[in-house]
Structure 1
Amino acid sequence: MLVCSRCGFRYPEEFRLRCDCGGTLFVEKNISGRFGENLRNHFDIRRYLSFLPVSEGHLPVIIPAITPIVELALDGVNVLFKLEYLQPTGSFKDRGTYVTIAKLMKEGLTEVVLDSSGNAALSLAAFSKAAGISVHIFVPALTSSGKLELLKRLGTELHVIDGSRMEVHRAAIEFAERRGITYVSHWLNPYFIEGTKTIAFEVYESAGVPDYVLVPTGSGSLFIGLWKGFSELKKMGEIDRLPHFVAVQASGYESLCKRSEEKSHLAEGIAIPEPPRLEEMRKILIETEGKCMSVGDAEIAEAIRWLWEWGFIVEPTSATVLAALWRLRKDGSVPEGSKVLLPLTGSGLKLTQGI
């Protein structure tokens, strides 16, 4: 069942992005029994099929992994680095794409449009190619050259837009409407969030409930997904509290924090100043007694150098959470001894210059 976040109207589980009232949608799935009773005997995302709105007769051939957690004592806290950059196409986006493609396959949709800063595009391009779905990808002209080259090699219809991330978003919508092609925005797609919530399940199984979750936050697909996963665990009676959520945003593109004058050039993955799920994210910050943090390029560059030196070859967007943690520890917002989840969201092998 799809439920509108604004008016509460319910729809059957079909592929749609918004309610007729304009509100965004969430998947609501009733699970009987305890969490452990519903786990499957797989060591990948299929372990959580009972919690996902998918048909087992229409599963993608590319399968997202259960990614490792590296726990390190850092600056007085226990940090859980979740290595999402080890997914098949190099980012956490594979989780959301997996559920999205399963839905598209079930409904027989064979041509779609997506706008992205890179990682979501790469993920959809790879999964769609394997599923026989044609893809039109809209990306900003400033997208890293490595990502653009990979998109070309995957055979997508690539539309490079000389404009801001929001202009790319609008161009994709206009193209989809003009051509009558299904638009699958990961910003709005309720099935995408169903995929990203599985990270919370993995963290819980491996390390319990963190005290704080720091998330690179632009459109909010990971931020909301992690909250939804931990919330479902709480609803099932598996846990009794939610972590404090910290939305980490790039300077100059803040939607939850006060907008900075200086714009980040490094955190391209979260350069999204007008996310459509802004109200949901605000509610999550209130519910979890969380906060918004904004970081700039100098902090991001320092954090990514540290991560690379420790063997975490990630892209700059991933480094925003470490930069935020250092500042939160310095001002005492995260107490000593806390358990802190830092998802490392995208591979740096697509971008190793200009930092």
Structure 2
Amino acid sequence: MDINLQETPIRKINDIYFKLEYKNPTGSVKDRGVSYQITEAIKHGHKSFVISSSGNAAISACFYAKKLNCDLIVFVSPKISKGKLAKLKSEKCKVVVSDKAVTDAFRFSKKNDIYNLRPSNDPNGWIGYRALARELDKQIGRVGSIFVPVSSGTLLYGIARGFGDLGYLPQLHAVQTTVVNLISSYFDSDYQKTDSSLCDALVAKTTSLKSELIKLIKKSKGFGWIISDPEIKRAWFYLKDKSIITSYEGAATLVAVRKAKEKGFELDNPVVCLLTGKYY
């Protein structure tokens, strides 16, 4: 019952390749992971699901649950962007707004024996992202460096495993914000902590993948970058002028590339920025 996603396009601007993951059916890279999770769970008899999400994963889960005739309940934080909440409601998802969305979704899953799609807790959460490595290798050849927005790290981990399947590992660059930077702060100390960020999808304050991701980044000779809102805004408008309308998380990857160059970091070419979602 696999769902075959179409390849997303590549745009090259100067010496950087931009992978336009916002061209996926629901507008984000989450389609790759969530569609795999649901189809695999269905194979094992599951037809009801719950998910806690900052927005994109919930939107994706709503789409594929409906497509595959499954039930879904979504738990979101009150801090979810208005655009994403409106999208969820337009899809007629069952949405619960909670100050403790992750905890409440977990408890609901346990109490009702319903499959929890939260990627960081699901053994299948990273597997769908492996396809990105194969796709990039097909589109541009051997990838030198890839910059990825990181929340719980499931996406970056899946990409790394995908490249491992191909027999090589490009430089892995984790991109995080001045608010939440569990991974990148191991590498980058050139930032001032803030209380808020434009990147409302990069919110994971804990992840079981932390040590593994740091090992992979070090093994790949990559780095972790912490990006500020003013830098993100400038990059977002730059991409907009190039007719690339992506999320702030995607724009942050461009800032990270620029920061790496400014600091004299030796990037392996070709360089890829993963634009993970659409702009709301």
TM-score normalised by L of structure 1? 0.74
> What's the offset of the Cα at 1:143?
1.0
Which runs of 5 or more residues in structure 1 are unaligned?
1-57, 235-240
Decide which of 177, 182, 205 is 1:255's aligned counterpart. Answer: 182
> What's the offset of the Cα at 1:177?
1.5
Q: What amino acid sits opposite 1:66 in the alignment?
A: E
Q: Is the 8 A contact 1:231 1:242 kept in 2?
A: yes
Q: Is the 8 A contact 2:26 2:59 kept in 1?
A: yes
Q: Is the 8 A contact 1:216 1:318 kept in 2?
A: yes
The reply to whether residue 229 of structure 1 matches residue 162 of structure 2 is yes
Q: Is the 8 A contact 2:55 2:201 kept in 1?
A: yes
Task: Name the structure where helix makes up a greater proportion of residues.
Answer: 2
Quote the Cα distance in structure 1 between the aligned partners of 2:104 and 2:87. 22
Q: Is the 8 A contact 2:116 2:122 kept in 1?
A: no
Quote the Cα distance in structure 2 between the aligned partners of 1:131 and 1:170. 26
Deviates more, 1:96-105 or 1:186-195: 186-195
- 1:131 is matched with which residue? 68
Quote the Cα distance in structure 2 between the aligned partners of 1:227 and 1:128. 27
The reply to whether residue 115 of structure 1 matches residue 36 of structure 2 is no
The reply to whether residue 64 of structure 1 matches residue 5 of structure 2 is yes
TM-score normalised by L of structure 2? 0.93
- Tell me: higher relative CO, structure 1 or 2? Use CA pairs within 8 A at least 6 residues apart: 2
Quote the Cα distance in structure 1 between the aligned partners of 2:108 and 2:173. 35
Q: What amino acid sits opposite 2:107 in the alignment?
A: E
Decide which of 195, 203, 217 is 2:150's aligned counterpart. Answer: 217
Quote the Cα distance in structure 2 between the aligned partners of 1:109 and 1:257. 36
Quote the Cα distance in structure 2 between the aligned partners of 1:296 and 1:142. 19
Q: Which structure would you say has the larger Rg? A: 1
Q: What amino acid sits opposite 2:138 in the alignment?
A: E
- Percent identity over the alignment is 29
The reply to whether residue 161 of structure 1 matches residue 98 of structure 2 is yes
Cα 1:257–1:343 shift into 2, 3 Å: closer
Superposed CA RMSD in Å reads: 1.6
- 1:321 is matched with which residue? 253
Quote the Cα distance in structure 2 between the aligned partners of 1:273 and 1:190. 19
- 2:225 is matched with which residue? 293
Runs of 4+ in 1 over 6 A off after TM superposition: none
**1:260-279 equivalent positions in 2, closer than 5 A:** 261-279=193-211
Decide which of 92, 112, 122 is 2:29's aligned counterpart. Answer: 92
SS of residue in 1 equivalent to 2:73: strand
> What's the offset of the Cα at 1:132?
1.1
Quote the Cα distance in structure 1 between the aligned partners of 2:269 and 2:41. 41
Which runs of 5 or more residues in structure 2 are unaligned?
none
> What's the offset of the Cα at 1:65?
1.6
- 2:117 is matched with which residue? 184
> What's the offset of the Cα at 1:305?
0.9
> What's the offset of the Cα at 1:161?
1.6
Deviates more, 1:89-98 or 1:151-160: 151-160
- 1:238 is matched with which residue? none
* CA distances 1:10-69 after superposition (whole Å, capped 9, x unpaired): xxxxxxxxxxxxxxxxxxxxxxxxxxxxxxxxxxxxxxxxxxxxxxxx234xx4220111
The reply to whether residue 306 of structure 1 matches residue 243 of structure 2 is no
- 1:174 is matched with which residue? 107
